[in-house]
Amino acid sequence: MTLVGSGAFTYEVQQDWFELPEGWSFGWVPAVACDSADRVYVYSRSERPMVVFDSEGRFVASWGEEVLKDAHGIFIDERDQIWCVERETHCVRQFTRDGELLMTLGTPDQEGAEGQPFRLPTDLALDADGFIYVSDGYGNTCIHKYSPSGEFIKTWGRPGTGPGEFDLPHCVRVDQRGRLMVADRANNRIQFFDLDGNYLEEWGGFHHPDTIFLDGDTVYVAELDQRVSILNLDGEWLAQWGSGERIDAPGEFLGCPHGIWMDSKGDLYVGEVQTDHRIQKFVRQT
pLDDT tens digits, 232-244: 999 999 999 999 9
Residue 11: which residues within 8 A CB-CB, separation 6 or more? 3, 4, 5, 267, 268, 282, 283, 284, 285
Name the pairing type of β-strands 209-215 and 218-223. Answer: antiparallel
Give per-residue pLDDT as tens, 142-193: 999 999 999 999 999 999 999 999 999 999 999 999 999 999 999 999 999 9
Instruction: Please state the rounded mean pLDDT for residues 189-201.
Output: 98
Residue 7 has pLDDT above 90, yes or no: yes
pLDDT at 149: 97
Q: How far apart are CA 169 and CA 157, in angstroms?
A: 9
Q: What is the rounded distance in angstroms from the CA atom of residue 274 to the CA atom of residue 169?
A: 19
Selection from 190, 263, 255, 191 nearest residue 229 by Cα: 190
Q: State the pLDDT confidence band at 52, using cuts at 50, 70 and 90.
A: very high
Domains in the chain with CATH codes: 3-284 (2.120.10.30)
- Whether residue 13 has pLDDT greater than 90: yes
Per-residue confidence at 20, pLDDT binned at 50, 70, 90? very high
Dist. CA 10–CA 266, nearest whole Å:
11
Q: What is the mean pLDDT of residues 13-27?
A: 96
How far is the C-alpha of 26 from the C-alpha of 31, rounded, in Å?
12
Q: What is the pLDDT of residue 108?
A: 97
pLDDT reading at 216 higher than 90: yes
Q: How confident is the model at residue 286 (pLDDT cuts 50, 70, 90)?
A: confident
C-alpha closest to that of 2 among 212, 274, 254, 280: 280
**Which one, of 199, 286, 207, 273, lies nearest residue 240 by Cα?**
207
Amino acid found at 262: M
The per-residue pLDDT of the chain, averaged, comes to 97
CB 170 within 8 A of CB 211: yes
